[in-house]
Structure 1
Amino acid sequence: MLIIGIAGGTGSGKTTVACSVIERLGSGKVTFISQDNYYKDYPALSLKEREAINYDHPLAFDNELLIENLIQLKSGRTAHAPVYDFTVHARSAVETVELEPNNIVIIEGLHVLSDEKLREMLDIKVFVDTDPDVRILRRVLRDIEDRGRTIQSIHDQYLRTVKPMHEAFIEPSKKYADIIIPEGGENEVGIQLLTVLTEKYLTGSRTWAKPMADR
């Protein structure tokens, strides 16, 4: 099993890169995991209290569960990821995402490269590097259209947590990347390079030499 991790700032195009690679390889050959599904759950807190949580910090994610799911997949077992509802900042009590073991697993998320234990699970580490002005515009559109946020709430969250956490954790995690793809989904060459590397595994001996240890 080849595990690819794709990290980058909010709105950088991580999901677009992942989906582009999956489309080229064939969806039946790849298991896709979004780190967003693994936000920690706080059912005892009120909605107002949950809204005040710093969701851009690495500790906002339940990486222990994500790693557990990866171990299950590597052993050939089906895993179940949580479903997270961003409109109420809580996990679904009844829904999960079924993850089937596959030759290729792609994980994308803000802090895929920030956590050392999670990094150790990755065979190829990718960082999507996109200009801050492009990223914030994409985030504004996404949060309004998909998550029901107001411009004021997006503005406040960006200055309070998004920008500081990007500078403190996400940008520094770029040093761990084996591949950096500038401008995300707009970078056809970068996406094709990642696809070719993955195809080499699919058509080869089913073995993969791990990249150089974290630099």
Structure 2
Amino acid sequence: MAAFAAHTSAASSHYLPPGTAILLRSRRRAFPTRVSCSAAAAGDKTVVIGVAADSGCGKSTFMRRLTSVLGGGAEPPRGGNPESNTLVGDTATVVCLDDYHSLDRAARKARGLTALDPRANDFDLMYEQVRAIKDGRAVDKPVYNHVTGLLDPPERVAPPRILLLEGLHPMYDERVRGLLDFSIYLDISDEVKFAWKIQRDLAERGHSLQSIKAIIEARKPDFDAYIDPQKQYADAVIEVLPTQLIPGDDDGKVPRVRLIMKEGVKHFAPVYLFDEGSTISWIPCGRKLSCSYPGIKFAYGFGAYFGHEVSVLEMDGRFDKLDELIYVETHLSNLSTKFYGEVAQQMLTHADLPGSNNGTGLFQTIVGLKIRELCEQIVAERDAMTADAVKV
């Protein structure tokens, strides 16, 4: 696997007292709208989670599942820019990193750049603002308008308990990557990505098959150069591949999904099937799990991923009845659930979301539960450190 040299530009050095609301440098001079969100308690640092993927690879769906697990769904901020990409929940705020585009759509076109190209993004500002939020300071975050392709006036974002950074580049810049408490990469194979884009763009956006192919081919060099290499830095990767249950099938309707979990990550214990550290192949179809053609197959094992030891949980196929999922749940360990059947409950709650009948929805839900526990442990650890410091 090719080595990846991360973009590292010089960081701006701005000293600002902790707990201060600030206006970091912005490209726009209009007064910012205010994003109302559940702020972190005074003195607490925000937990920062990064989610990277190409466009059309399920980031928005994952955000809905993740914010639900973290304590209430996230919605656009009330009273702000109707084209805002930010989502605000009870405990988490979702920031779309498209907001850090440094060029609008027309400027990118004039320069022959895609949004994936680092030259079309402001990593200095991204780093400054993520660092400020993590340290408990409000920022005036830029807004990229996906409808008009223009750079809109900024919106003020207060530090939440959990900040979710989703987009093309959360792990690209070394400085931003160093601020993440946990990172996930959604890795969709070319065959499945192509099938998904066709299904979405033909049905929802009225694109022709030829135009879809042209867009994919135009973006691929930049994706390969700047987006895909980020997965080597991820603590967990959700990989979606063509099924192996149907020979020659690559339409993406029956995916094979792998949850690749890095070993040794603080506050994160990989999920396992039956027996930790073993190699397992399991076909659960039978009396307790309904399976129509082509069936379901699970696997669990371990190996290496970009030089890191990993555990891998795999599901190939799709569920017929989500209410039977609890049978599978009882055979998985280290799920970080708070009660019996919580995975099944979450899946049923979001049964209308794409991927809810296969491994994409299952593993996104499981990762969400793991992130919830990780955030709770980080906060508890920080509280304990603060208490110890007070005693001294």
TM-score, scaled relative to structure 2: 0.45
Report the count of equivalent residues. Answer: 202
For 1:178, the aligned partner's letter is: D
Where does residue 125 of structure 1 map in the other structure?
Answer: 183
Cα shift at 1:77: 2.1
Where does residue 230 of structure 2 map in the other structure?
Answer: 173
Structure 1 SS opposite 2:194: helix
Cα shift at 1:19: 2.3
Q: Give yes or no for the alignment of 1:188 onto 2:362.
A: yes
Where does residue 13 of structure 1 map in the other structure?
Answer: 58
Counterparts in 2 of 1:188 and 1:42: CA distance versus 1, 3 Å: closer
Where does residue 62 of structure 1 map in the other structure?
Answer: 122
For 1:28, the aligned partner's letter is: D
Give unpaired runs (5+ residues) of structure 2: 1-45, 72-88, 241-256, 258-354, 384-392
Cα shift at 1:172: 1.8
CA distance in 2, matches of 1:91, 1:143: 28
Cα shift at 1:33: 0.7
For 1:134, the aligned partner's letter is: V
Cα shift at 1:121: 1.1
CA distance in 2, matches of 1:197, 1:100: 21
Counterparts in 2 of 1:142 and 1:73: CA distance versus 1, 3 Å: farther
Where does residue 33 of structure 1 map in the other structure?
Answer: 95
Query: Are 2:103 and 2:121, in contact at CA under 8 Å, matched by a contact in 1?
Result: no
Cα shift at 1:87: 4.5
Alignment of 1:66-215 (within 5 A): 66-92=126-152, 94=153, 96-139=154-197, 141=200, 145=204, 153-160=211-218, 162-183=219-240, 186-202=360-376, 205-207=380-382
Cα shift at 1:60: 1.9
Cα shift at 1:30: 0.5
CA distance in 2, matches of 1:98, 1:38: 14
Deviation string for 1:89-136 (max 9, x for gaps)?
3202x3x34322112111011121222111111110111112223323
Deviation string for 1:113-164 (max 9, x for gaps)?
2221111111101111122233234445359857x8776554433222x111
CA distance in 2, matches of 1:198, 1:145: 33
Q: Which has the larger radius of gyration?
A: 2
Query: Are 1:10 and 1:139, in contact at CA under 8 Å, matched by a contact in 2?
Result: no
Counterparts in 2 of 1:66 and 1:73: CA distance versus 1, 3 Å: same
Calculate the aligned-residue CA RMSD, in Å: 3.0
Structure 2 SS opposite 1:175: helix
Give unpaired runs (5+ residues) of structure 1: 209-215
For 1:127, the aligned partner's letter is: Y
Query: Are 1:181 and 1:187, in contact at CA under 8 Å, matched by a contact in 2?
Result: no
Where does residue 213 of structure 1 map in the other structure?
Answer: none
TM-score, scaled relative to structure 1: 0.78
Percent of aligned positions with the same letter in both sequences? 27
Cα shift at 1:179: 0.7
Deviates more, 1:123-132 or 1:190-199: 190-199
For 2:363, the aligned partner's letter is: V
Query: Are 1:113 and 1:119, in contact at CA under 8 Å, matched by a contact in 2?
Result: yes
